[in-house]
Structure 1
Amino acid sequence: MADLLDIKNLSVSVEEKAILDAVNLTINKGETHVLMGPNGAGKSTLGNAIMGNPRYIITGGEIVFNGENITAEAVDKRAKRGIFLSFQNPLEVPGVSLGNFIRSAMEQRFGKRIRLWDFRKELKASMDILGMDHSYAERDLNVGFSGGEKKKAEILQLLMLKPELAILDETDSGLDVDAVRTVSEGVKAYQKNMDGALLIITHSTRILEALSVDKTHVIVNGKIKATGDGSLVNKINDEGFESFLEG
């Protein structure tokens, strides 16, 4: 498989505090990687750095995406390239409907006008995968949505935007069992129907139970301490992160 994302010796600071220290990570097209670690380990920092959030200052190393160095590129350019980042706490956007937001994002992503009829047909099909009432497309983005509804709205964006790399940051955080199952179905649909890659950032393992995982990485104190296959998730389930903290 060809490398999709190649992170080389990446160091990142936030507000002059060093968070990541010489992180190396390679993700191939079609792979699902899991990044786990205790709170404050640097998981979300890595996701935001890949997406290009300007609050996260790269102090060393580089990010290569599809063979091109994107270390200095802005967020919007990375999004057009096909990088998608979900958020732990999705923002509310009064005055902009969920449907209009997604259609506008698709037109930016694919660089062309999306016919309304085609858009509505695809939107309804994707909402059905997530068990979402079609009326949600007319509601203001995330306004009045429950935590589970906000996460479903983000997975809906994932299905519609078809990114080459989807970074899911604590997607299962705060969800009940049914909501986790529904979100997992959406992620599985992305895995099945698109030749993209996933980086799932989590300190839990609930969303991973129904997914196929190629590699698992453990990050502690800004360094990747271990990399393994899906069985590493089971080790963490049984033993926690204590053995990695000691190293």
Structure 2
Amino acid sequence: MNDVHALSGAYAVDALDDIERAQFERHLVECAECRAEVDSLREGAAMLADVAPVAPPAALRDRILAEVATVRPLPPQVVEVRPRRRRFPALVAAAAAVVTLGVGAPIAYQALSSDTPSVDVSATERVLRAADTEKYVQRFDDGSRATVYRSKALGQAVIVTEGMADPGEGKVYELWLDHDGEMVAAGFMPKGPDNTVLLSGDAAAAEGVGITVEPEGGSDEPNLETAVVFAFDA
């Protein structure tokens, strides 16, 4: 969508798909106007909850059931993340080829006021708006950017990419958490230049996040020649 601001209404009533929701949540981090609009829309939705319901026509239920019977549901998509632990040898010694550090700084993001009605909040959004969230940014020579958000309190991290190059035919970007030199597989980035991914695993105790280019399906050990590491502040 050309105007991401137009998603605020659908976001407020949880009517976005996963991709649109992730894109809009990334936009909310930077846009105070949209955060205020979402708050206002959710307050309006809460007021509507007090309106007396109107009974639907008696024939509506039968018509809906008849139409549903003609729809063939699709099977759910299952994404497997393998909880592997593998050594990441000589991480510091290979710094010239491997390590690019982002700059960490706490960020404050509160999308909902204390008076906002209770709503379902995604795990990604909780990380982005946590009071202790740290932000680590890496800019690449081709103009692309990757940002890692980490909340120690929640024990989770989110990576947001903008304009990332395609990893190549039969390749995928694999994500890792660095635990005292041991790299633990933490998921994959979907195809496409702009993504928001919640990493699996304990990010609170991690010392950093790594991105590598691997064959589709992932590797048992990270490919050091393609690695970029976001080192968390101590």
Fold shared by both chains (TM-score > 0.5): no
Higher relative helix content: 1
> How high is the TM-score relative to the length of structure 2?
0.29
> How high is the TM-score relative to the length of structure 1?
0.28
Higher relative strand content: 1
Kindly name which structure, 1 or 2, has the bigger radius of gyration based on alpha carbons. 2
